[in-house]
Structure 1
Amino acid sequence: MLELQNVTKTFGKQVTAVDDLSLRLDAGVVGLIGHNGAGKTTLMQMIATLARPTSGRILFDGSDIVAKPEAIRARLGYLPQDFGVYRNVSALEFMQYFAALKGVRDPARIRRLLELVNLHEQANRMASTFSGGMLRRLGIAQALLNDPDILVVDEPTAGLDPEERLRFRNLLAELGFHKLVIISTHIVSDVETIAGHLAIMRSGRLVAFDTPDDILGRARGQVWTASVDAAEYDSLRASTHVLQALRQGSRFALRIAHPGPPCLGAQPAEPSLEEALMAQRYAVKEAA
């Protein structure tokens, strides 16, 4: 469905935001993971035809979207990280405006989408009175107006409370059964239970594209627990990668990423997905 071929984006002569990235994506939920500044937003802007690659091609169903952006725009839904609304209009008026821009002529669809994001009871409220979470939900509703085949959302849970985050994740998971949903985030918990694949970016490059199970499998045997005193804790901090440290009286309960037992008495631990990604990152650093 969507194929990126050796895509590079540079700014000036010094900054390479995306570096020779190739990737093929089909329907399902894909988590785009990376630290702030890894190049995620730039990549998503290129997919949404808001920026042009310096080199390389982006194909949607075989059509080059750089040469023919209309090939994807009518079938794309996009929620940027910084989503602005006209705050002197109601949620309903906002949706009607975007429906007109997208050529959607079905008023019932607007009502259904407001219900889907749990804003139907606030449809006539001014957007200026909405919380950050409500504005994010309004943003996803507008992104779905044209029933897109590709949904691109950048840091979708920013500003949401725990209940709203859960509702949002469930919605994106349901959409992923029939569409390609690309979720950019640096919060692993946003995608660990819903993404079929994770694309991991670091310094503009794609360093891995795997299922969560594959990532967890490679990390087994690289995450350890240990209980140590203060002196040994200081030593381990200098020689290993301590993922977590909890003080328990005069001792510290540690979780450590290391290719082998980091100290006497260390026990192998089942890694979380976030720990697995950190262990993989440390392994790449050490190999370099």
Structure 2
Amino acid sequence: MKIEIRELIKDYESYRALENINLTFDEGIHGLLGPNGAGKTTLIRILSTLLPKTSGEVYYDSIRVENKEEIRKIIGYLPQEFSFYPNFTVYETLDYFASLSNIRLNRREILDRLEMVHLQDLWKVKTKALSGGMKRRLGIAVAIVGDPEVLIVDEPTAGLDPEERIRVRNMLSEFGKTKTVLLSTHIVEDIALSCKSLSILNKGKVIYNGTVKDVIKNADGYVWNLTADVEEFHQFMDKYNVISSIIDEDKISLRILSKEKPSLNAINISPTLEDAYMKLIKEV
């Protein structure tokens, strides 16, 4: 399944949320990264048929996004915020949402889908007793209940502990082996560990579209590590883009983004995706 976005624009009265977006997604996991207000959720909602576009074209293969009935047959969508009936069990919840989509599943099929998200042992548990990570996994089960060709997820690991984040990432990676997955997030680590391609949005525009490896190369030579005392620390904070600072007794280890060497004791180090992302955002 190929998704093609051509010259997409979305306006809210006098505010332009998306401007001339041109992107193509096919099989695998594709990341949408950007700060809050970048336009990620607006783009996701248009692709999910929940929000009309102002102009431009969006196709799922040859199906226009305006054909909501056909599009909704082939996509699964997990929004950032969602809820379940608290007194429904995990089994009843999945069965209920399948019925809403006119999908008839027998008991074995429901348990199989719960097994895909590692909730098969909790099928009798009420949703109000689930942890945040368990609810997120149940949300993924609801999104894929119809075995969609495309899975769209908005901030799927937000608020989860490290163990649950790994579980969710692994589930999305498994699904992305044969399907198209769009992962919208502001968590850089999720992109670095999961996605084969990356699109970075800022202020409604695409400022990068390509591989994770290539965007990291863009920051080669710009990342420095150095040690400073407290007085120097404030000077560096005022003058440079400090990515991180770690206090060790009376010294502070700094990670700085700079085209020029910031001090004599600074050492040039290999960039991460977070470094490259911050470089692009600051340039814009």
Give the Å deviation of 1:247.
2.4
**SS of alignment partner, residue 37 of structure 2:** coil
Are 2:14 and 1:10 aligned?
no
- Which whole-Å CA distance do the structure 1 matches of 2:246 and 2:85 have between them? 46
- Which whole-Å CA distance do the structure 2 matches of 1:264 and 1:273 have between them? 26
Q: What is the aligned partner in structure 2 of residue 209 from structure 1?
A: 209
For structure 1, the residue ranges without an aligned partner over 5 or more in a row are none
Q: Please, which moves more after superposition, 103-112 or 152-161?
A: 103-112
- Report 1:129-278 matches (<5 A): 129-278=129-278
Q: What is the aligned partner in structure 1 of residue 20 from structure 2?
A: 20
CA contact (8 A) 2:31 2:199 kept: yes
- Report 1:74-113 matches (<5 A): 74-107=73-106, 108-113=108-113
**SS of alignment partner, residue 158 of structure 1:** coil
CA contact (8 A) 1:3 1:23 kept: yes
- Which whole-Å CA distance do the structure 2 matches of 1:234 and 1:214 have between them? 33
- Which whole-Å CA distance do the structure 2 matches of 1:161 and 1:247 have between them? 24
Q: What is the one-letter code of the residue matched to 1:73?
A: R
CA contact (8 A) 2:97 2:142 kept: yes
Q: What is the one-letter code of the residue matched to 1:237?
A: M
- Which whole-Å CA distance do the structure 1 matches of 2:264 and 2:159 have between them? 43
Give the Å deviation of 1:235.
2.2
- Report 1:58-73 matches (<5 A): 58-66=58-66, 68-73=67-72
Q: What is the one-letter code of the residue matched to 1:280?
A: L
**SS of alignment partner, residue 6 of structure 2:** strand
Give the Å deviation of 1:180.
0.8
Give the Å deviation of 1:231.
3.2
Q: What is the one-letter code of the residue matched to 2:246?
A: L
Q: Please, which moves more after superposition, 241-250 or 264-273?
A: 241-250
Give the Å deviation of 1:45.
0.6
- Which whole-Å CA distance do the structure 2 matches of 1:223 and 1:260 have between them? 10
CA contact (8 A) 1:192 1:212 kept: yes
- Which whole-Å CA distance do the structure 1 matches of 2:183 and 2:4 have between them? 16
Q: TM-score, normalised by structure 1?
A: 0.94
CA contact (8 A) 2:207 2:280 kept: no
Deviation readout 1:7-27 (Å, 9 max, x if unpaired): 1112122x2222221111111
- Which whole-Å CA distance do the structure 2 matches of 1:153 and 1:32 have between them? 10
Give the Å deviation of 1:248.
2.8
Q: What is the one-letter code of the residue matched to 1:74?
A: K
Deviation readout 1:152-204 (Å, 9 max, x if unpaired): 00110123222111111011111111111011110111221110011101111
- Which whole-Å CA distance do the structure 2 matches of 1:122 and 1:224 have between them? 48
Deviation readout 1:115-145 (Å, 9 max, x if unpaired): 1112112112221222221111110001111
CA contact (8 A) 2:26 2:180 kept: yes
Q: What is the aligned partner in structure 2 of residue 127 from structure 1?
A: 127
- Which whole-Å CA distance do the structure 2 matches of 1:121 and 1:227 have between them? 50
Taking only the aligned residue pairs, the percentage that are identical comes to: 39
**Superposition RMSD in Å:** 1.4
Give the Å deviation of 1:64.
1.3
- Which whole-Å CA distance do the structure 1 matches of 2:91 and 2:248 have between them? 54
- Which whole-Å CA distance do the structure 2 matches of 1:235 and 1:273 have between them? 26
- Which whole-Å CA distance do the structure 2 matches of 1:277 and 1:97 have between them? 41
Deviation readout 1:38-94 (Å, 9 max, x if unpaired): 11111101000000101111111022112x122321010000001111222111111
- Which whole-Å CA distance do the structure 2 matches of 1:219 and 1:143 have between them? 36
- Which whole-Å CA distance do the structure 1 matches of 2:125 and 2:97 have between them? 17
Q: TM-score, normalised by structure 2?
A: 0.95
Instruction: Identify if the C-alpha distance between structure 1 residues 238 and 11 changes in structure 2 by more than 3 Å, giving closer, same or farther.
Output: same
- Which whole-Å CA distance do the structure 2 matches of 1:132 and 1:145 have between them? 20
CA contact (8 A) 2:202 2:281 kept: no
| Aligned residue-pair number | 282
**SS of alignment partner, residue 59 of structure 1:** strand
- Which whole-Å CA distance do the structure 2 matches of 1:236 and 1:88 have between them? 54
- Which whole-Å CA distance do the structure 2 matches of 1:6 and 1:124 have between them? 48
- Which whole-Å CA distance do the structure 1 matches of 2:129 and 2:251 have between them? 49
